[in-house]
């Protein structure tokens, strides 16, 4: 079968308002203007309100485990003040560039985006100033962000496969949860959760469980054309009931509520690199598999003819069918692949992280993965960065609890830090990071012409 070319079927013979309207005035960069103003206000508040109230004691960012850790020391009030001043400078540059050349200018975009990198040292320096801890390991925080972002990245790749083919899948949470519960139940029942071959068999079962539930989702939505949102909600509820039953009736009575999880492995040569090697290139198998899945998804969907056919089914299934693509079969395959990836994400919870299963242990990860997908504008690389952002918010919340951050005599409760990933999710979905356009035909049932 030849390569499918997706064409725009809209009639362009008649002029439209979009084509006849005068080009925007160079000063019309409203988005960058608003962003620069907000950044400037935040920078001024940091310089004149926050920084002067921080301690002048020395704190440090370490990059290795103790006792002889590589460390950079600083004074929180000075560092925070400098970051605030950089925010103000970046805001001025972005404002002037956007007023002169509009939103599309590279100068204004990079001035705003580049300054966002400094949010991490800003938050950590402020947290150290508000705690009694002398330092914190920054490299370990970033690596923990990657590890906590593993199921989010896998979930976003699952959603990417589904939605690029034209099928909405909000049942990723249920697929992950069911895979985690079913795989550990069989692992505990048949292998006594003792590791070895049964552990790897359980991971395979998790992948198959995710694919099986995804096949059910495809049957309901692609063949019977049931509303895709309702199908996803039903899958989430089914997973809650199924895993609750398995835990109460099989896992708990069986007396094996925990067991051996996957063992860390080191990448040859890279794991011996000073500073980075032992921390970054030593990890567990599903963590490393996540990078393979992200890279593989990007290659297959955007570098192969079959990936082009999948994307054509999500953009214009009628045009794809006219060129010989079996839309129904392609959507089935893409949804099942996505479900299998979600199943691997479920195995991360029960077989790699905890070595056990708890009710609702995925804790909304599937929904956060969808937010990462939106953040990434349905592109694998950007979705991975979104997963890293959400993983960082989880790691940061845990780090803040360890540091014991206090404002005055008020100790911030742990519940506040636990809700941080969901706050970030709301901000992303609300569109603060920019407008994201989904595939044109996602969520729209397709029926073969008679």
Q: DSSP readout, 195-207?
A: -THHHHHHHHHHH
pLDDT score recorded for residue 105: 62
**DSSP assigned state of 2:** P
Identify any residues that bridge with 62 across adjacent strands, giving them in sequence order: 71, 137
Residue 296's closest CA among 340, 262, 264, 329? 340
Structural domains present in the chain: 30-129 (no CATH), 143-429 (1.10.3470)
Identify any residues that bridge with 137 across adjacent strands, giving them in sequence order: 62
Q: For strand 71-74 and strand 59-62, is the pairing parallel, antiparallel, or unpaired?
A: antiparallel
Q: Which residues of 10-38 are buried (b: 16+ CB within 10 A; e: fewer)?
A: eeeeeeeeeeeeeeeeeeebebbbebbee
pLDDT score recorded for residue 440: 93
pLDDT score recorded for residue 10: 40
Q: pLDDT tens, 161-217? A: 999 999 999 999 999 999 999 999 999 999 999 999 999 999 999 999 999 999 999
- In the chain, the N- to C-terminal Cα span, in Å, equals 22
pLDDT score recorded for residue 140: 92
How remote is the C-alpha of 342 from its chain's centroid? 13
Polymer length in residues for the chain = 450
pLDDT score recorded for residue 31: 62
Angle, CA 426 vertex, CA 425 and CA 430 arms, to 5°: 120
Query: How far apart are the C-alpha atoms of 47 and 82, rounded to whole Å?
Result: 8
What residues contact 329, with CB distance under 8 A and at least 6 apart? none
The DSSP element (H or E) to which 375 belongs, if any, is helix 365-375
Question: Are the C-beta atoms of residues 396 and 420 closer than 8 Å to each other?
Answer: yes
Query: How far apart are the C-alpha atoms of 215 and 301, rounded to whole Å?
Result: 20
How remote is the C-alpha of 367 from its chain's centroid? 10
Query: How far apart are the C-alpha atoms of 373 and 174, rounded to whole Å?
Result: 17
Question: Are the C-beta atoms of residues 327 and 446 closer than 8 Å to each other?
Answer: yes
Q: pLDDT tens, 315-344? A: 999 999 999 999 999 999 999 999 999 999
Tokens of 55: 């301690």
Full strand arrangement of the beta sheet holding 135-137: 71-74, 59-62, 135-137
Q: Which residues of the chain have pLDDT under 50?
A: 1-29, 103-104
Counting beta carbons within 10 angstroms of the beta carbon of residue 392, is it exposed (0 to 12), middle (13 to 18) or buried (19 or more)? buried
Counting beta carbons within 10 angstroms of the beta carbon of residue 9, is it exposed (0 to 12), middle (13 to 18) or buried (19 or more)? exposed
Phi then psi for residue 59, to 5 deg, are -125, 175
Phi then psi for residue 335, to 5 deg, are -65, -40
Residue 150's closest CA among 282, 284, 261, 290? 290
Query: How far apart are the C-alpha atoms of 2 and 53, rounded to whole Å?
Result: 66
Question: Are the C-beta atoms of residues 175 and 235 closer than 8 Å to each other?
Answer: yes
Query: How far apart are the C-alpha atoms of 213 and 242, rounded to whole Å?
Result: 12
What does pTM read for this prediction? 0.88
**H and E: helices and strands count for the chain:** 20, 7
């Amino acid at each position: 079968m030849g390569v499918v070319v997706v064409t725009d079927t809209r009639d362009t013979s008649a002029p439209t308002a979009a084509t006849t309207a005068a080009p925007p005035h160079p000063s019309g960069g409203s988005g960058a203007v608003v962003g620069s103003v907000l950044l400037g206000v935040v920078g001024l508040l940091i310089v004149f309100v926050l920084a002067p109230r921080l301690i002048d004691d020395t704190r440090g960012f370490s990059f290795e485990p103790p006792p002889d850790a590589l460390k950079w020391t600083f004074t929180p009030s000075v560092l925070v003040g400098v970051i605030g001043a950089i925010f103000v400078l970046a805001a001025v540059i972005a404002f002037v560039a956007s007023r002169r050349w509009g939103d599309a200018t590279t100068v204004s975009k990079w001035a705003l985006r580049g300054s966002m990198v400094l949010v991490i040292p800003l938050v950590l320096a402020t947290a150290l100033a508000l705690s009694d801890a002398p330092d914190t390991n920054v490299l370990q925080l970033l690596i923990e962000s990657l590890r906590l972002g593993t199921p989010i990245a896998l979930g976003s790749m699952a959603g990417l496969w589904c939605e690029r083919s034209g099928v909405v899948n909000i049942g990723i949470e249920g697929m992950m949860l069911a895979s985690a519960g079913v795989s550990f139940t069989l692992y505990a029942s048949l292998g006594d959760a003792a590791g070895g071959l049964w552990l790897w068999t359980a991971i395979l079962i998790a992948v198959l469980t995710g694919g099986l539930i995804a096949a059910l989702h495809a049957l309901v939505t692609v063949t019977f054309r049931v509303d895709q949102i309702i199908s996803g909600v039903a899958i989430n509820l089914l997973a809650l009931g199924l895993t609750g039953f398995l835990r109460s009736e099989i896992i708990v009575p069986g007396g094996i509520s925990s067991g051996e999880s996957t063992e860390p492995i080191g990448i040859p040569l890279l794991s011996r690199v000073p500073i980075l090697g032992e921390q970054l290139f030593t990890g567990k198998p599903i963590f490393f598999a996540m990078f393979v899945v992200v890279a593989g998804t990007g290659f297959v969907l955007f570098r192969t003819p079959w990936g082009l056919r999948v994307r054509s089914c999500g953009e214009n299934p009628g045009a794809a069918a006219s060129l010989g693509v079996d839309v129904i079969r392609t959507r089935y395959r893409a949804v099942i692949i996505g479900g299998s990836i979600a199943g691997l994400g479920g195995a991360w919870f029960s077989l790699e992280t905890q070595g056990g299963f708890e009710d609702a242990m995925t804790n909304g990860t599937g929904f956060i993965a969808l937010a990462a997908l939106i953040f990434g504008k349905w592109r694998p690389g950007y979705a991975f960065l979104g997963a890293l952002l959400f993983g960082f918010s989880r790691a940061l919340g845990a780090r803040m609890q360890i540091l014991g951050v206090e404002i005055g005599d008020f100790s911030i409760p742990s519940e506040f830090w636990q809700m941080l990933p969901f706050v970030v999710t709301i901000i992303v979905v609300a569109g603060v990071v920019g407008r994201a356009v989904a595939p044109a035909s996602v969520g729209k049932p397709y029926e073969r012409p008679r």
